[in-house]
Amino acid sequence: MLRWLIVIVVFLLIEIYAFQAFKTASKNGWFTKSYIIINSLVFINLFYRIFNVYLKDLDYSDQYYNFLSIPFALFFTLFCFKLILISFLFFEDILRLIVSTYKFFFSPTESFLIDRRGFLSKIALLIASIPIPFVLHGIFKGRYNYKVYNYDLNFEDLPKEFDGYQITHISDIHSGSLNNIKSVEYAVELINEQNSDLILFTGDIVNNRADELDVWKNTLSKIEANDGKYSVLGNHDYGDYVNWKFEHEKKDNFEKLLKIQNEMGFNLLMNENINIKRNQQSISLIGVENWGKGRFKKKGDIDTACNGLNENDFKIVMSHDPSHWDEILKNHKTHFHLTLSGHTHGMQFGIEIPGWIKWSPAKWAYKHWAGLYNENKQFLNVNRGFGVLGFPGRVGIPPEISVITLKKS
């Protein structure tokens, strides 16, 4: 109860601060009234949707992606605007407090109360407004602005027959969050245009339920590669985030997910390995189930997955969560040449300017959160993801199609 009281008080203070900024910045009543109307509509829409979610007893997947995603995103955008706004006004108020205190004690004949400056409120409103178009673009356009990332990786012990071998790596489709068939069809065409030898998908094909794939199965089945398509499971593929009424429902959901992946042409690897052959040479592809640090499921068993492999085999690992590489794989007794992961989405928010800056809040949770990494001649590629989760957009972190070319040095 106390926690909710604190949250309510904080929200009220933020609202009061924001309202004061609008009131001070303009003497035009319609300017302030417009803010009140927009703010009220966003709140009413969000709480109306939340009320309906509980009324209809929708599960987690339906709540966030069919009903609440856009209203929540608009609320989040407006809330960030207010936080930036009040950060300026707060520092102004600190200065006003210091000056007023000085006047109270040392200039008692003067009025010690100092009015808020309209100019500073206008500047604060202007600066706070800058991120809004970027966030809105990320919601309505950026989430489907697919980008191809090309990487050439050199290995001394790569089998000669695989010199120039090309892999397309995708991850985190989150089919329950997709809502634009033309954009997804474009992404599939873009994947196929790479004409890669192998397609590798590193988990989270759904948000929670296998039936999310019913709409997208035919489209995603069109992804093609000469040597086939292989996949592993991510933390969202097990149905752990749904309050199932009966345990058998969760089991049935999982079995349906495995069946659909097979129907789509994906060869699912669950703590096992296969050989990709070219003439008399081969490379080993290892697929492990989800393994993540902290609260995430730890079903991945790299030792079981490596059964039957030789020390000198060239090894590629598919493991959904990059923390598996940090915690286990890169220090394992077996040398893994390349590990492919996803999971982080790059937090779907950040700034990336090649050669200049690479930043996202994801870095606070994951040491390796997007792109290519190399430690002790072991590579890790963390794919930024195909779909979205939670926030229904991407700001500065586009959905990714990784194209990796293996080269013999």
**pTM recorded for the entire structure:** 0.85
Residue 7: alpha-carbon gap to chain centroid: 26
3-state class of 402 per DSSP? strand
pLDDT (tens digit, 9 = 90+) per residue, 247-261? Answer: 999 999 999 999 999
How do the domains of the chain map onto residue ranges? 2-129, 147-408
**Residue (of 247, 285, 240, 243) closest to 267 by Cα position:** 285
pLDDT (tens digit, 9 = 90+) per residue, 386-408? Answer: 999 988 899 999 999 999 999 99
C-alpha pair distances (Å), 390 with each of 48, 307, 345, 348, 350: 19, 38, 11, 10, 16
> Which token pair is 194?
């790479």
Q: Contact 192/170 with Cβ under 8 angstroms?
A: no
d(CA 235, CA 298): 9
10-residue mean pLDDT series, the chain (409 residues): 77 80 71 82 82 61 59 82 79 71 63 54 78 89 96 96 98 94 97 98 96 94 97 96 91 97 97 96 98 93 96 96 96 96 96 91 95 96 95 94 97
| Sign of the Cα pseudo-torsion (247, 249, 253, 256, in order) | positive
Q: What is the pLDDT of residue 110?
A: 52
> Which token pair is 5?
């009281």
Q: What is the pLDDT of residue 85?
A: 80
Q: Identify the CATH number of the domain defined by range 147-408.
A: 3.60.21.10
Q: What is the pLDDT of residue 113?
A: 46
Q: Which residues pair with 291 in a beta bridge?
A: 298
- Would you report the helix, strand and coil content of the chain in percent, each value rounded to 5? 45, 20, 35
